[in-house]
Amino acid sequence: CLFVCLFVCLFVFIITINLLSFSLETIKETTKEKQIKRKTKEEENGILNNKNNFWNKRMRLYIRYLFIAILFILLCWSIFSWKKASNSSQLIERVAEKLHHKSKPVTIDYFKQFYKYSAERQPGGAGWDGAAVINAAGEKEIEEKKMKEYGFNELSSSKISLERAIPDNRVDACFNVKYPSDLPTASVIIIFYNEAWSTLLRTIHTVIARSPPQFLYEIILVDDASLKAPDEPYPHLAQKLEDYVDKMPKLKLIRSPKRVGLTQARLIGADNAQGDVLVFLDSHCEATYGWLEPMLARLQENRRMAVVPSIEVITWRNFEYLRSKGSFSRGIFRWDLMFNWGPLPKHERERRKTEAYPIKSPTMAGGLFAMDRRYFFESGAYDRKLIYWGGENVEMSFRLWMCGDGIEIIPCSRVGHVFRERAPYKSPDGSTDHNSIRVAEVWMDEFKEIFYSFRANLKPEMGGDVTERKKLRDKLQCKSFKWYLQNIIPELELPDKYPYGRGDIKNLGTNSCLDTLAQNNAGGRPGLYPCHKMGTNQFFIFTKRKEIWHDGLCVDLDSHADTAKVKMWSCHKQAGNQEWIHQRIGEGGLIQHSVHNRCLEGLGDQIVVRQCDKNNRKQLWVFESYPDANVPAGAKRTWM
Confidence label for 88 from pLDDT (cuts 50, 70 and 90): very low
Q: Single out the residue of 369, 367, 396 nearest to residue 298, CA to CA.
A: 369
Q: Identify the CATH class of 106-123+142-166+183-418.
A: alpha beta
For residue 97, what pLDDT is reported? 46
Amino acid identity for residue 163 in this structure = E
For range 390-419, the mean pLDDT = 97
183 contacts: CB under 8 Å, gap ≥ 6: 215, 293, 296, 297, 300
Residue-level pLDDT at 65: 59
Residue 51 reports pLDDT greater than 80: no
- Res 509: pLDDT: 94
Residue 148: C-alpha distances to residues 141, 153, 224, 262 (Å): 11, 9, 20, 21
Gap between the Cα atoms of 228 and 199, Å rounded: 16
User: How far apart are alpha carbons 426 and 265 in whole angstroms?
Assistant: 16
pLDDT tens for residues 158-188?
A: 999 999 999 999 999 999 999 999 999 999 9
The answer, yes or no, to whether residue 77 has pLDDT greater than 90, is no
Q: In angstroms, rounded to a whole number, what is the distance separating the alpha carbons of residues 491 and 489?
A: 5
User: Into which CATH architecture does domain 501-625 fall?
Assistant: Trefoil (2.80)
* Cα(495)–Cα(502) distance, integer angstroms: 10
Give the pLDDT of residue 100: 44
The pLDDT confidence band at residue 397, using thresholds 50, 70 and 90, is: very high
* Nearest C-alpha neighbor of 375 from the set 301, 311, 465: 301
Q: What whole-number distance in Å separates Cα of residue 201 and Cα of residue 251?
A: 11
Burial of 16 (0-12, 13-18, 19+ CB in 10 A): exposed
Amino acid at site 517: L
Instruction: Count other C-beta atoms under 10 Å from residue 331's C-beta.
Output: 22
Tens-digit pLDDT profile for residues 314-358: 999 999 999 987 667 999 999 999 999 999 999 999 999 999 999
Calpha distance 172→109 (Å, rounded): 12
- 497 CB-near residues (< 8 Å, 6+ apart): 627, 636, 637, 638, 639
Nearest by Cα to 414 from 629, 110, 210: 210
What secondary structure, in 3-state letters, does 80-129 show? HHHHHCCCHHHHHHHHHHHHHCCCCEECHHHHHHHCCCCCCCCCCCCCHH
Lowest mean pLDDT among 79-93, 398-412, 509-523, 598-612: 79-93
In this predicted structure, the answer to whether residue 303 has a pLDDT above a threshold of 60 is yes
The whole-angstrom separation of Cα 170 and Cα 257 is 41
Q: What is the band of 53 on the pLDDT scale with cuts at 50, 70, 90?
A: low
Answer for the pair 448, 438: CB distance below 8 angstroms, yes or no: no
Confidence label for 613 from pLDDT (cuts 50, 70 and 90): very high
Bridge partners of residue 418, in order along the sequence: 314
Decide the pairing of beta strands 277-281 and 186-192: parallel
pLDDT per residue as tens digits for the range 508-559: 999 999 999 989 889 999 999 999 988 889 999 999 999 999 988 999 998 8
Q: Which pLDDT does position 118 carry in this prediction?
A: 78
Least confident of 94-103, 182-191, 204-213, 290-299: 94-103
- Please determine, for residue 45, whether its predicted confidence score (pLDDT) is greater than 60: no
Contact (CB, 8 A) for 57 and 49: no
Give the relative orientation of helices 2-36 and 41-84 as an angle to the nearest 10 degrees: 170
pLDDT for 59: 58
Contacts of 132 (CB under 8 A, 6+ apart): 156, 315, 317, 318, 319, 320
Sorted by where each begins, the domain ranges of the chain are 106-123+142-166+183-418, 501-625
The predicted pLDDT at position 69 comes to 62
* Nearest alpha-carbon partner for 285 in 180, 178, 369, 171: 369
Kindly indicate the confidence band of residue 587, based on its pLDDT and cuts at 50, 70 and 90: confident
Q: Are the beta carbons of 539 and 550 closer than 8 angstroms?
A: yes
Q: What per-residue confidence (pLDDT) applies to 293?
A: 98
311/314 Cα distance (integer angstroms)? 10
Q: pLDDT averaged over the chain?
A: 87
Position 35 scores a pLDDT of 52
Confidence tier at 86 by pLDDT (50, 70, 90): very low
Residue 48: its pLDDT value, please?
45
